Amino acid sequence: ITRRDFLKIAAATGGVAVAGTSVVTSVLGLGKKPVSLPQYVPTTCEMCFWRCGVIAKVVDGKVVKLDGNPLHPNSRGKLCARGHGGIGLLYDSDRLKTPLINTGKRGEAKFKKVSWDEALGFVADKMQKIKAQYGAESIALLTHGTISTYFMHLLQAFGSPNFAMPSFALCRGARGVAFEVTYGEDVGNPERLDIQNSKVVVLIGSHLGENAHNSQCQEFAEAVGEGATVIVVDPRFSTAASKAKYWLPIKPATDLALLLSWINLIIQEELYDKEYVAKYTVGFNEVAQAVKEYTPEWAEKETEIPVSLIVQTARIIGKNKPHVLIHPGRHTAWYSDNVQRQRAVAILTALLGAYGRPGGIYLSPKKKLEPVFLSEKDYPAPQKPAINKGNYPFAGEEGVTHAIVKSTLTEQPYPIKAWFITGTNIMKAMPNQRDTLQAVQKLDLLVAVDMMPYDGVMLADVVLPECTYLERHDDLFTVKERAFGVSIRQPVVQPMYDTKPGWWIAKELGKRLGLEEYFPWNTFEDFLKMKCQTWGIDYSELVKNGYISFPESEKPYITADNQPKFKTPSGKIELYSKELKEKGFDPVPKYTKHPQPAEGWFRLIYGRAPVHTFSRTTNNPSLWELMKENVAWVNAKVAKKMGLKNGEYIILINQDGVKSNKVRIKITERIRPDCIYLVHGFSTTSKLLHRAYLRGADDQQLITRYDIDPISGSVGMRVNFVKIAKEV
Ligand code: MGD
Ligand code: SF4
């Protein structure tokens, strides 16, 4: 792409405009006459993990606009509001600016500014002491995002296998396990959903549009525009529900009952794809037998969805096969049976013949690139077995965060004495903040690598400030869309303040730990060039275009000469899972009843807003202008009975007596009377975040209890009940 093309693109790209960027515009000095011509630099977004292609417009060394890269399949020329709001992150005056060491007690955050040399020397010295006393394995890493690559590498080189990411147990882990058990692979990240060709889209708690994943939202809008029937199953009338023909306001925690009754009816009425099931699956008879008891009449009692609607929607789903997308979800950390609920989604998808078919879940591109590691050197074998997967037989490679918390608290099977927290806000991501705080007090060292002084960072002994994604190189991203591709992240501007890229921090710490051999490159660009050479990619083209596609790899659907290979023990789609059976779990999902709230109590449910990602954007000047705080959704009849007024402040108190910060009430018909809904991530307790400090209520503070799915270690966070108190 030439500069001229970029100019055209920048003019043509629509996307969502970010209003009220007053803080940012003043930093940029907009209005002044530019002295140089604008430059257009392609890179990859990290405002969430969809990782869209971005084109940054830079004037006089300042980023003035971000747009979607039309070559990149995740952005298709557009960004979401958060993507545009990346400028707000870059120029947020609350950013971490230098390395810091806490001079007070842990959590007092009495930080003194130090040099990189002092901070890294301090951390390396502590790490060596902890290793000598407890072993390298007693240093654990809680991590999220691109930075994970470098710190997992560093810690493994040091001798610790103990890392965990919230993206497994607190997010999409249960779905991954369910699809791996059934199909031999997960549905991908981004998910391989062929929404643009779906005739029926079924969203079970997936609030597309509020949960803004760029290309998925674009495809959803296209499908709606083309007249797809949308069925939304949600206790709340979500934005997606407003586009739906059917809204099923399900009683929370009963989704598996609905799914099993749909499966039963589709089998009974022979609406499944017989040929597909015979050719590609095993275990049909066992499933048919097992789901017989789950009649629509039974499901009505569990779900509170009228039987007529259950039957009607099942028939629509069955009759439109295979062009039906039962959305497999993403944040699936709901209850103790997360894997079995997602298994039901996977089984239903197979019965409809929708895996590998237009409008369903497309096949992953077969193209593979040879792995290129940060170094060729093998990691030393850990002296003690890893604790990061707990005792969950299907826990994924990303680890289970609560296993690390538990071992830190109990010192079993051995003590954990240091945490690195890189790119994750441990106070907002993990449930039961009391456990997290107690575990933190047991540590000899807590190091945070972050860009912003969020809650978790305030607990750290040493804070290492990373520069933002707009100021750094990162490892290449492989994109498994319909066709395979590779995307680059490169600096758009030089790092501000005394901040450094994650790879640099890991390498410098590695040097001080005697691990230079694990970082055999000078700059990260050297590594990326070598990687491109191994992959046969033209580095300069990648730098220029931001994204390289391999169109020949595009074979998304099953055809006579494109047959799927299922990496399951039977080589087929396992409707009945022998693997689960052998490990002591139900081979076909069975319904589990979960407790419901008592009179006067409400189930706390939570979700996302399109302009924020978890807690990480709540202080972003551009995005904060769009949504400064969350509100508590309360059903209108409940509010009337309690004499509550729209917009007044209330406090939520959970079953363990934990009180939330004050939060405005939103009185609405759009939620069931037995639930209260909050957008996740608000109410930071960090005073260094001037905009976000104590704005709204923190859902995580109220999630003092959680269930654990014994198959995967996936967490059930929707098991807390709250009551309403007026603010005093
Ligand atoms: P955030 O709260 O956004 O989410 O968990 P987290 O990823 O921990 O915290 C991110 C932290 O990373 C912030 O401190 C931010 O400044 C920092 N950060 C962001 N980008 C970078 C970067 O490029 N470099 C560095 N060094 N730091 C960076 C999310 C997790 O939370 C997930 S994945 C899910 S799906 C769950 N969602 C969820 C929920 O919906 N409700 C409840 N109650 N809990 C949840 N927990 C899970
Ligand atoms: Fe960035 Fe939005 Fe894309 Fe996420 S969906 S990567 S925030 S543009």
Nearest partner of 207 among 325, 74, 327, judged by Cα: 327
Tell me: pLDDT of 103 over 90: yes
| Superfamily name with CATH number, domain 193-361 | Dimethylsulfoxide Reductase, domain 2 (3.40.228.10)
Tell me: pLDDT of 391 over 80: yes
Burial 253-279 (b: 16+ CB within 10 A, else e): bbbbbbbbbbbbbbbeeebbbeebbee
Q: What is the CATH number of domain 602-726?
A: 2.40.40.20
475 Cβ neighbours under 8 A, 6+ residues apart: 146, 149, 503, 528
pLDDT tens by residue, 503-524: 999 999 999 999 999 999 999 9
Q: Is 47 in the pocket of ligand 2 (CB under 6 A)?
A: yes
CA dihedral 270, 276, 277, 280 (to 10 degrees): 180
All CATH 2.40.40.20 domain ranges in the chain, comma separated: 602-726
Q: What is the pTM of this model?
A: 0.94
Q: Is 452 in the pocket of ligand 1 (CB under 6 A)?
A: yes
pLDDT band, very low/low/confident/very high, at 490 (cuts 50, 70, 90)? very high
215 Cβ neighbours under 8 A, 6+ residues apart: 50, 52, 73, 74, 75, 76, 190, 481
Residue 5 tokens, joined: 């093309």
Q: What is the pLDDT of residue 26?
A: 56
**Which of 69, 75, 78, 216 maximizes ligand 2 atoms within 8 Å of its Cβ, making it the mutation to test the pocket?**
75
Burial 159-196 (b: 16+ CB within 10 A, else e): bbbbbbbbbbbbbbbbbbbbbbbbbbbbbbebbbbbbb
Asked if 81 and 18 touch (Cβ cutoff 8 Å), the reply is yes
Q: What is the pLDDT of residue 553?
A: 87
661 Cβ neighbours under 8 A, 6+ residues apart: 651, 683, 694, 696, 697, 698, 701
Residue 47 tokens, joined: 């405002």
Q: Is 89 in the pocket of ligand 2 (CB under 6 A)?
A: no
CB burial of residue 369 (10 Å; 0-12, 13-18, 19+): middle
Q: Which percentage of the chain shows pLDDT scores above 90?
A: 94
DSSP string, 520-565: --SSHHHHHHHHHHHHT--HHHHHHHSEEEEGGG---S-BTTB---
Burial 552-564 (b: 16+ CB within 10 A, else e): ebebbbbeeeeeb
All CATH 3.40.228.10 domain ranges in the chain, comma separated: 193-361
Q: Note the ipTM here.
A: 0.92
364 Cβ neighbours under 8 A, 6+ residues apart: 185, 188, 192, 480
Own/partner contacts of 11-17, CB < 8 Å, gap of 24 or more, are: 12/70, 12/77, 13/55, 13/67, 13/68, 13/70, 13/77, 13/78, 13/79, 14/77, 14/78, 15/67, 15/68, 15/78, 15/79, 15/80, 15/83, 15/84, 16/79, 16/80, 16/81, 16/84, 17/84
Structure-token match 């707990």, residue found: 390
Residue 578 tokens, joined: 């022998």
pLDDT band, very low/low/confident/very high, at 179 (cuts 50, 70, 90)? very high
Per-residue pLDDT averaged across 360-387, rounded? 95
Asked if 327 and 188 touch (Cβ cutoff 8 Å), the reply is no
Q: Is 683 in the pocket of ligand 1 (CB under 6 A)?
A: no
- Determine the distance from the C-alpha atom of residue 210 to the mean position of all C-alpha atoms in its chain, rounded to a whole number: 14
Tell me: pLDDT of 50 over 90: yes
Give me the count of residues in the chain. 728
Per-residue pLDDT averaged across 220-235, rounded? 97
Tell me: pLDDT of 13 over 90: no
- CA of 350 from ligand 2 middle (Å) equals 30
Atom of ligand 1 minimally distant from the CA of 456? 14
Q: Is 566 in the pocket of ligand 1 (CB under 6 A)?
A: no
Q: What is the pLDDT of residue 31?
A: 57
Per-residue pLDDT averaged across 93-110, rounded? 98
Indicate which ligand has the atom closest to the C-alpha of 73.
2
Atom 4 in ligand 2: residue holding the nearest Cα? 48
- CA of 219 from ligand 2 middle (Å) equals 15
From residue 585, give the alpha-carbon distance in Å to each of 282, 558, 580. Answer: 18, 31, 5
